[in-house]
C-alpha cells in the first residue's frame, strides 16, 4: 500500500476490511478508523491528541449531565421513563461468559446510554441500543471510546438502525427491492403474507445482531456496513438475502404474515461471511438491471 497514492491507499484499506474482514487483534484500533474516530491520514501523534480530546469531551459531557440531571427529572417526564427503560433493559442482559466471568460493567453501560440519550437528539433511546452498546464496550477498554464509537457508528451508517430516521426507509426500500427482483414473492407478501415485511423492523434496529452465532460475526457485518462497500445501505440487501432463505418454505406452505415472521425469527446462528456473500450476489444482480430511480438513489 505504500506505493499507492494517499487516496487510493485509503480506498484499498477499506476494501481490504470489506473483502477479508478484520483480524480480532487489530479490530479495536481499526474500528476507530472505520467509524471516523480517527482520520485515515492521521499520524500517531495526531491520534494521541484526538484520543485525549475525546476523553476530555466525554468527561465534560458527564459533568454537564450531572448538573442538569435534577432539572431533567423535574421537567421532563420522558427522561424518567427512558431512564427506567434503560435500567430495565440492562438488567435483562446476561453479563457472564460460559465460565461465569463478568463480561460487561452494567453501571457504566447505563451511564453511556443515558448520556447518549441526552446528548444525541437525533437518536433517542430505543430498545436494542443496550445490546449494541454492549458490543462496543466489549471491544474497547475505556468509557469514552465506547461512547464515541457508538455515536460515530450511528453517523457513519446514516442512522439506519434508528426507528424514527432510518428503519422505516429501510423497510420501504426492502419492499421495493422485492417487487423489483422477485415479483412472485412480492405478490404473496402483498396477499396472504401481508404485514410480514413491516414486522421485520428488529433486523434493522439491532443491525441483525441476533441472527449470528457469535459476536465476531456481528462485528464482521458491521464492519462491512462501515466501509460503504459494495454500496450504500447494504443492510437492505442483507435483509433481502435473509428473506430469500425462507422464500421456498413461505411459497410452498403458503404462509401467513405471522408464520413468515416466525420463520424469519428462527434464522439464527448464521455465518456472517456467507450472508455477506449472498447479499453481494444480490447487488451484482441488481446492477445488471435497469434499476428504478428510487432504488438507484438508495443504493448506487
Task: Give the per-residue pLDDT at 4.
Answer: 39
The pTM (predicted TM-score) of the whole model is 0.91
CA 128, distance to chain mean position in Å, is: 10
* Residue 172 banded pLDDT, cuts 50, 70, 90: very high
Task: Give the per-residue pLDDT at 5.
Answer: 45
> Would you say residue 9 has pLDDT above 80?
no
Report which of 115, 155, 113 is spatially closest to residue 136, judged by C-alpha positions.
113
> Would you say residue 119 has pLDDT above 70?
yes
Among 17-21, 138-142, 259-263, 274-278, the minimum mean pLDDT is found in 17-21
Mean per-residue pLDDT of the chain: 91
> Would you say residue 239 has pLDDT above 90?
yes
State pLDDT tens for residues 184-234.
999 999 999 999 999 999 999 999 999 999 999 999 999 999 999 999 999
Bigger pLDDT: 77 or 277?
Answer: 277
> Would you say residue 134 has pLDDT above 80?
yes
3-state secondary structure the chain: CCCCCHHHHHHHHHHHHHHHCCCHHHHHHHHHHHHCCCCCCCCHHHHHHHHHHHHHHHHHHHHHHHHHHHHHHHHCHHHHHHHHHHHHHHHHCCCECCCCCECCCHHHHHHHHHHHHHHCCCCCCCCCHHHHHHHHHHHCCCHHHHHHHHHHHHHHCCCCCCHHHHHHHHHHHHHHHHHHHCHHHHHHHHCCCCCCHHHHHHHHHCCCHHHECCHHHHHHHHHHHHHCCCCCCHHHHHHHHHHHHHHHHHHHCCCCHHHHHHHHHCCCCECHHHHHHHHHHHHHHHHCCCCCHHHHHHHC
Among 1-5, 17-21, 133-137, 163-167, the minimum mean pLDDT is found in 1-5
* Residue 19 banded pLDDT, cuts 50, 70, 90: low
Task: Give the per-residue pLDDT at 101.
Answer: 78
| Distances, alpha carbon 142 to alpha carbons 52, 58, 70, 107, 135, in Å | 12, 11, 27, 14, 13
> Would you say residue 17 has pLDDT above 70?
no
Amino acid at each position: 500500500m505504500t506505493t499507492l497514492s494517499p487516496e487510493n491507499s485509503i480506498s484499498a484499506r477499506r476494501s481490504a476490511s470489506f473483502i477479508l474482514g478484520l483480524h480480532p487483534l487489530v479490530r479495536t484500533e481499526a474500528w476507530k478508523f472505520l467509524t471516523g474516530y480517527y482520520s485515515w491520514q492521521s499520524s500517531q501523534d495526531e491520534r494521541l491528541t484526538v484520543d485525549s480530546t475525546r476523553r476530555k469531551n466525554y468527561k465534560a459531557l458527564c459533568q454537564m449531565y450531572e448538573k442538569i440531571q435534577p432539572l431533567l427529572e423535574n421537567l421532563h417526564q420522558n427522561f424518567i421513563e427512558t431512564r427506567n427503560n434503560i435500567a430495565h433493559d440492562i438488567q435483562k442482559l446476561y453479563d457472564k461468559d460460559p465460565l461465569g466471568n463478568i463480561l460487561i460493567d452494567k453501571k457504566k453501560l447505563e451511564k453511556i446510554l443515558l448520556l447518549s440519550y441526552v446528548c444525541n437528539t437525533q437518536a433517542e433511546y430505543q430498545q436494542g441500543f443496550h445490546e449494541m452498546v454492549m458490543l462496543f464496550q466489549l471491544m474497547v477498554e475505556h468509557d469514552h471510546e465506547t461512547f464515541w464509537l457508538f455515536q460515530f457508528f450511528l453517523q457513519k451508517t446514516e442512522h439506519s438502525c434508528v426507528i424514527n430516521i432510518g428503519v422505516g426507509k429501510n423497510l420501504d426500500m426492502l419492499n421495493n427491492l422485492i417487487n423489483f427482483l422477485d415479483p412472485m414473492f412480492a405478490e404473496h407478501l402483498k396477499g396472504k403474507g401481508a404485514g410480514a415485511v413491516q414486522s421485520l423492523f428488529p433486523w434493522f434496529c439491532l443491525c441483525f445482531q441476533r441472527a449470528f452465532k457469535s459476536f465476531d460475526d456481528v462485528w464482521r457485518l458491521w464492519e462491512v456496513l462501515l466501509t460503504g462497500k459494495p454500496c450504500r445501505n447494504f443492510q437492505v440487501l442483507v435483509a433481502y438475502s435473509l428473506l430469500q432463505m425462507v422464500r421456498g418454505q413461505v411459497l410452498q406452505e403458503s404462509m401467513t404474515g405471522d408464520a413468515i415472521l416466525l420463520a424469519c425469527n428462527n434464522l439464527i446462528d448464521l455465518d456472517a461471511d456467507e450472508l455477506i456473500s449472498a447479499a453481494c450476489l444480490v447487488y451484482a444482480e441488481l446492477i445488471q438491471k435497469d434499476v428504478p430511480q428510487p432504488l438507484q438513489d438508495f443504493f448506487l
